[in-house]
Chains A and B, each alone.
Chain A
């Protein structure tokens, strides 16, 4: 290897290490804070490693709130919404990728425009609509809103995936007697699994993390999702940073697990096509 090559390698290692440190540090910090005693959180000098470890913050957060309910609600909303989005956008994406028909451009264009317009413009009318449908303070409102918010983008992604897969694949299956729909699910879905997973993770993460709509539509304890609950924490307790960090850690864990298992699909899925081109 040339001199330059070694330099480049060293540079790379240094960069990767520094980058890792900067990425990890905030996470480290919030985890450490969550295990500190209340008095140690607000004392100088700052402890980079807690003198005493405590679970008090975690106990407190379950005591002062129904954190298990929030976690359950978040899961319910995110799973239901992301699966509905997946199905709807797969059907839509498939048709848009495979057929030529009048108005197709308009449909794609209509989906794309929603990406530019801040949905918050429609927040007040949406509130009225949900209220008329008696869905305010109901998890279903969030499922519905998240689904519609994600459909356009996920459909566009799906179009990209389908276009990467030769039509001959399902045509062969259809000759063998499959209907179009069963060809879609039996033949194509397995081939584009990484892409589907990438979309699903994307949708799930978006739902799991959504804040503004949730704050708008949810106030009752029994239907709060994690972001709503955390938002009312920060507003009610504010500098109770111990409990806040415990809550943060708890709400990050599920995405962390999901991400650990699925992140390889993200890059692979995208390599396969997706928004790539």
Chain B
């Protein structure tokens, strides 16, 4: 349970003054040698392009107008934010992240709880229900795109058969359905991750705790609230935090299901960004969208860690 503090407080290094500088020690060289590959690679191939890309956010940098690349201050941000689609994109991103997250969390938690105790065939069961996590978002998008097909889609057929609808719905063609459809696909994909994380946490709860509670006459509900939840809370927090970041930065499902359509009704920030790079080729505005994502996520992280009162000092 040490890690979450560290993860949440990366920028709070407490340098140990009592330790002598290692500058000339053998140990120092060892440390450097081990870290160098990671640091060098990440600096060159992650930080450098990202910083260079971020600079583009302040430039008129589009492939349609290559002769005319120059700094334009905040114009890209203005253009992005004032574009009529942007409000939809932000709204979609909020739906996409929080609705997906809510159902993934609740279902994942329920799944993990149900699987905590060993039952016959649990291994196989686990393998099957966790499998979506190992699939690519792109393929998941394809599969659901086929199932949501307006003419030959199985979902329409099932809904017709059960009498829930009278006529097939063009799920991916109508704005109001399209967003719901991509979110459903995303929930299907993401439950497994929560379940895996929570199950791992549940399994590390000593059984004695429950036995003791049983003897004290605590019912299952009490056990859930007084033993299970407090014990796995740190895992929940870190998982939620990670998922918010990942879900927002996860364009694959939408990319293959609707590619942002119809009429941009299913664009979220990250698909919007990719669209700006790959199709509009407006690198400047794309980077502006990217920086907006960074600002949103950073403020979310600060807010979230504050709200969850994880304020103890990290130890490095």
Contact = CB atoms under 8 A, between A and B. Distances in A.
A105 B2 contact: no
Contact of B134 (A92, A231, A258): A258
Contacts of B37: 88, 91-92
A250 B202 CA distance: 35
Contact of A119 (B46, B126, B242, B286): B46
B129 A20 contact: yes
Interface in B1-36: 1-4, 6-7, 10-16, 19, 21-22, 27-28, 30-31, 33-35
Interface stretch (A61-69, A147-155, A167-175, A185-193): A147-155
Interface residues of A, number: 108
Interface in A31-71: 33, 41-46, 48
Contacts of B238: 275, 277
B138 interface: yes
Contacts of A5: 220
A95 B35 contact: yes
Contact of B35 (A92, A248, A271): A92
B199 interface: yes
B49 A125 contact: yes
A263 B28 CA distance: 38
A151 B34 contact: no
B196 interface: yes
B175 interface: no
A133 B290 CA distance: 25
The listed residue with most A CB atoms (<10 A of its CB), out of B16, B37, B45, B197, is B45
6 contacts: A27-B131, A46-B152, A105-B10, A126-B49, A211-B138, A259-B134
Interface of B: 1-4, 6-7, 10-16, 19, 21-22, 27-28, 30-31, 33-35, 37-39, 41-42, 44-50, 52-54, 56, 61, 107, 110-111, 114-115, 123, 125-140, 142-144, 146-147, 152, 154, 157, 188, 191, 196-197, 199-201, 203-204, 219-220, 234-235, 238-239, 242, 245, 249, 251-252, 255-256, 270, 273-274, 277-278, 283, 286-287, 290-291, 293-294, 297-298, 301, 314, 316
Which 9 pairs of residues, A with B, have the shortest CB-CB distance? A105-B13, A122-B49, A209-B136, A121-B290, A270-B200, A109-B10, A277-B1, A91-B34, A125-B52
Given A101-B19, A105-B14, A248-B139, 19 more contacts: A16-B111, A16-B115, A23-B132, A29-B146, A33-B146, A91-B38, A102-B21, A106-B11, A108-B6, A114-B42, A117-B50, A121-B50, A125-B48, A129-B48, A159-B3, A211-B252, A211-B256, A276-B234, A277-B238
